[in-house]
Every structure is written in C-alpha cells, then in structure tokens.
C-alpha cells in the first residue's frame, strides 16, 4: 500500500497541479483539501504542509480546518472503509454496541486503520437510512437491522474476499 508521504512523486506533481488550480481563488483551502484527500486517501502532515506552503497559509490554519470537518482524515483509510452510523435513530437501536464489537474484533479505535491496511473504522452521522437502524456501511455496501452478533460474519466475508484475491 502506498504510504503517500514523500515517495509518490507522481502524486506530488498532481498535488502541485491542484494547488496551482486554486491558488488565487478565495476560500481555496477546502476544495484543495478535498481533492488532495481524493488523491492520497487521507491528509498526512507532509501533504498538509505542501498545501500550507502552496496557498501561503499557516500549517496551523490547515490543520484546524482538517480537524474541524469530519470528512477529512489525517489517518490512512483501509481498503474497506467501515462507517458505523451513530445518528440518533441508530444510536438508540444499539449502534454503540456494534461499534464496540467491530473495534474489538479489528483491534482499532475510531478513525484508525488496521496494520495490514485492509479495514478502517469510523463513526459517522446519519446516513439517511433510519428505517434500517442500526446501520453500518462498508465502502458502498449497506448493512441494516444489525445486532452485535451479526458483525463477525460480515467481517469474515471481507477477510475471505481478501484471501481469495491472493
């Protein structure tokens, strides 16, 4: 898995293009962060530093914005991004337990990624499927009306998929 730090020269060139595209527009920071995150999958310090230098703002400004908005991540994301909805409906239907179960099985906390880069875990706000509460999403797949007991099976599906691919 690419680390996205300093080795990926092509990505650096791409990032420079993104910065150049927005450089002289007001409010450039957020669109640049969006595109940079799309490029790298997340926003490590080296990328934030380049953006700060490129847009002539302080790293403190960039980091403040990145950590304010939940859609930006400073940690790498897994191949399978697990989002657990902690919106009101899901929460009262036991989403907390589901979150804890996933965390326990994968041994990662909120916002983290497994060492092998396969899974990452995030708590998110309402995904708009309250009728299916509690809901989790793994990449684009939606799983609803879950209990904690359903979790091991779901995760196993993706682990199997990975070993088949190998």
Partner 1 sequence: MSEYVTLTIDGVEVKAPVGSTVLEAAKSAGIKIPTLCFLKDINGIGACRMCIVDVGARSFQAACMYPVSEGLKVITNSPKIRETRRVTLELILSSHEKKCLTCVRNRSCELQKLASDFNIKDIRFEGELQNYPIDDLSPSIVRDPNKCILCRRCVSVCKNIQTVSAIETNDRGFNTIISSPFHMPLKDTPCVNCGQCITACPVGALREKSSIEKVWDALSRKDLHVVAQTAPAVRAAIGEEFGYPIGTPVTGKMVAAIKKLGFAKVFDTDTAADLTIMEEGTELVDRIKNSGKLPLITSCSPGWIKFCEHNYPDMLDNLSTCKSPQNMFGALLKSYYAEKMGIDPSKIFVVSIMPCTAKKFEAQRPELASTGYPDVDEVLTTRELAEMIMEAGIDFRNLKDENFDDPMGEATGAGVIFGATGGVMEAALRSLPYFLTGKDDENIDIHVVRGVEGIKEAELEIAGIKVKAAVAHGLGNARMLMDKVKSGEADYHFIEIMACPGGCVCGGGQPIQPASVINEIDLKAERAKAIYQEDKNLSLRRSHHNPRVLKMYEEYFEKPGSHKSHKLLHTHYIARENYPEDKCGQ
68 within 8 A of 86, measured Cβ to Cβ: no
Under the binding rule (CB under 8 A), the answer on residue 25 touching partner 1 is no
SS3 of residue 85 by DSSP: strand
Applying the rule CB under 8 A, the residues between 84 and 143 that interact with partner 1 are none
Of 90, 104, 97, the C-alpha closest to 144 is 90
Quick one: which of 20, 59, 92, 142 contacts partner 1 (CB under 8 A)? 59
Quick one: which of 63, 91, 143, 158 contacts partner 1 (CB under 8 A)? 63
> Shortest gap between Cβ of 60 and partner 1 (angstroms)?
4
**Rounded Cα distance, 131 and 161, in Å:** 29
Quick one: which of 14, 35, 61, 162 contacts partner 1 (CB under 8 A)? 61
Strands of the sheet with 80-85, listed across from one edge: 119-124, 80-85, 136-138, 141-143
CA–CA distances in Å: residue 49 to residues 18, 52, 56, 57, 147: 14, 5, 10, 10, 42
Please identify, using beta-carbon distances, which residue of 56 and 163 lies nearer to partner 1.
Answer: 56
Please identify, using beta-carbon distances, which residue of 55 and 138 lies nearer to partner 1.
Answer: 55
Eight-class DSSP state of 150: G
Quick one: which of 5, 20, 92, 159 contacts partner 1 (CB under 8 A)? 5
Quick one: which of 45, 92, 142, 159 contacts partner 1 (CB under 8 A)? 45
- The residues of the shown chain that bind partner 1, judged by CB under 8 A, are 5-6, 44-46, 48-49, 58-64, 67-68, 74
């Amino acid at each position: 898995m690419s680390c996205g730090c300093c080795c990926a020269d092509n990505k650096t060139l791409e990032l420079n293009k993104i910065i150049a595209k927005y450089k002289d527009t007001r409010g450039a920071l957020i669109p640049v962060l969006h595109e940079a995150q799309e490029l790298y999958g997340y926003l490590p310090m080296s990328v934030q530093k380049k953006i700060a230098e490129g847009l002539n703002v302080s790293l403190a400004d960039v980091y403040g914005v990145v950590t304010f908005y939940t859609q930006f991540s400073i940690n790498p994301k897994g191949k399978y991004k697990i989002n657990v909805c902690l919106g009101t409906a899901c929460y009262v239907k036991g989403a907390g337990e589901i979150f804890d179960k996933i965390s326990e099985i994968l041994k990662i906390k909120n916002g983290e990624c497994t060492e092998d880069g396969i899974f990452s875990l995030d708590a998110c706000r309402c995904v708009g499927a309250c009728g299916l509460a509690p809901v989790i999403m793994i990449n684009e797949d939606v799983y609803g009306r879950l209990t904690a007991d359903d979790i091991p099976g779901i995760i196993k599906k993706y682990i199997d998929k990975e070993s088949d691919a190998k």
